[in-house]
Amino acid sequence: MKKTVCILFLALSGLSQLFCQEPAGQPDALSLSLEQCIGLAGQDNAAVLNAGLDVAAARYQKQEAVAEYFPKVSVNAFAFYAFDPLLELGISDILGESEFTSQIDGMLTDLGSRFGFSPVYSTLKKGLSANVSVMQPVFAGGRIVNGNRMARLGIEAAELQQKIQLRTTAEEVGKGYWQVVSLEEKLKTMEETRMFLDTLYRDVLSATGAGLSLETDLLQVRLKMNEVKSGELQLRKGIRLAKMDFLNFIGVEYNPYSTFDRDSLPYIDDIRLTDELPEPLPPDNYFRPAEEVAASQEETRLLDLSVESKRMERKMAIGEALPQVSVGATYGYNNFIDKGSMDGLVFGMVRIPITDWGKTARKVQRIDSQIQKAENDRDYLRKQILLQVFKLWTDLETAWEQLQVSEENVSMARQLVEQMQSRYAAGMVSVSELLQARTDCSMAEAELLDMKIAYRNAVTAYMDKAGD
């Protein structure tokens, strides 16, 4: 009997451990810093990936241009078969029409019929040719050299575009990251308000039971509690949506449902953004001269490249009207007259365009106008870049001033809540006045969070332009 009881005890213990243990394959919580998110966006964001592909394409194009320096080797083959010989020669074709040739032709015709040969020589009934040729350009009007220079400009332009895209993506990641952090901080503020209301509700409930407070005061507190609870639910929903949008942008997969298993993906609420808002520093800590910032921009260099590429295009257009010199060689097998042989030759070729000069001159004039237009655009856009730097600095200073005002508002709102609590305890103010003070304080704290995020975004935008 004791043995049976022990066996049952061990079996029940094993079953309890089996049912109590955590399900296998459950994903752990995922923590992400801002730096990690920027790195993930650089690996998965479509715009960043496309910018990298543009750089690769520009480098391939440069390799295409380099290939123009080397000889062009080709293998050629040609064969034909004619219904009638392409070449037939008789005595009259060689000596012309005369009585003498007629007599000789008659003699050859008679002899041919007797000895089995034709008095007319025919050939080129069929033929075959196969050879290998090499062509080396010696001078092509500078188009090969300038084509390689344009290809190098293309690589530089693609790399600058990639840097701009990386910078823009990092800025967007920062905005999305701090938006989620801001919403989570607002949720903490709302939870503090809910705790305050819970305490106030107990106090008002006790006062109502003792006849020291009205039933309407209790209802007002309960209404405010439900209002905060509803706002908390809406805020949690907003956090999930904002986090989903952010994770989609940086390419992180997640499980949006808490009750369904999706291949061990982390649940959206288990993904934490670990960075906290840094203590804001005054704008003077970030200042750089606007002219220096504008000159260091990738956009400024792109404007210069647009002018340089037009000038290269002009040189290539002029090269179309210049003489072109090339040399070559060929070697192969030929059989056109029923006798095959191997042979080769070397050759040189000079091409001087004559009738294209007028067309090329008009083309150069057209490109000159495009160069002037590119220079005008560059000068204008440089001023716009400088204006943008001034605007970013102005936005930074304005965000700092608004932050200072919000901090002052929060300080005064908190002092007011403390005073109202003391007066409420002394019976000098009503519950509605205390609730209004607490509501104003919560709104001021939420506005302060918005101002911190706005200032942080303004710092990021300015420092991205400043190159730090």
Percent of the chain with pLDDT over 90: 31
CA distances from 225 to 36, 94, 296, 424 (A): 39, 121, 54, 18
- pLDDT at 248 exceeding the cut of 80: yes
Range of the domain at 271: 25-86+124-466
Predicted pLDDT at 17: 42
Is residue 325 exposed (0-12), middle (13-18) or buried (19+ Cβ within 10 Å)?
middle
CA distances from 124 to 176, 274, 413 (A): 79, 86, 108
Lowest mean pLDDT among 75-89, 405-419, 442-456: 75-89
Predicted pLDDT at 92: 73
Mean pLDDT to the nearest integer, 221-241: 90
Predicted pLDDT at 357: 82
At 134-159, the pLDDT tens digits run: 998 888 888 888 889 999 999 999 99
Predicted pLDDT at 27: 53
Is the residue at 174 inside a domain?
Answer: yes
Is the residue at 456 inside a domain?
Answer: yes
Percent of the chain with pLDDT over 70: 91
Predicted pLDDT at 359: 84
| 419 vs 28, more confident | 419
CATH classification at residue 41: 1.20.1600.10
140 φ/ψ sector (left φ>0, alpha ψ -120 to 50, else beta):
alpha
At 315-344, the pLDDT tens digits run: 888 888 888 899 999 999 888 777 788 888
Is the residue at 16 inside a domain?
Answer: no
Predicted pLDDT at 11: 39
For 41, other C-beta atoms within 10 Å of its C-beta total 22
At 70-86, the pLDDT tens digits run: 899 999 998 988 888 87
For 346, other C-beta atoms within 10 Å of its C-beta total 10
Is the residue at 113 inside a domain?
Answer: no
* Host H or E run for residue 349: strand 341-351
- Considering its fold, how many domains does the chain have in total? 1
- pLDDT at 390 exceeding the cut of 70: yes
How far is the C-alpha of 161 from the C-alpha of 299, rounded, in Å? 8
Is the residue at 56 inside a domain?
Answer: yes
**What contacts 19, CB < 8 A, 6 or more positions away?**
none
Please give the angle made by the CA atoms of 330, 333 and 336, to the nearest 5 degrees. 115
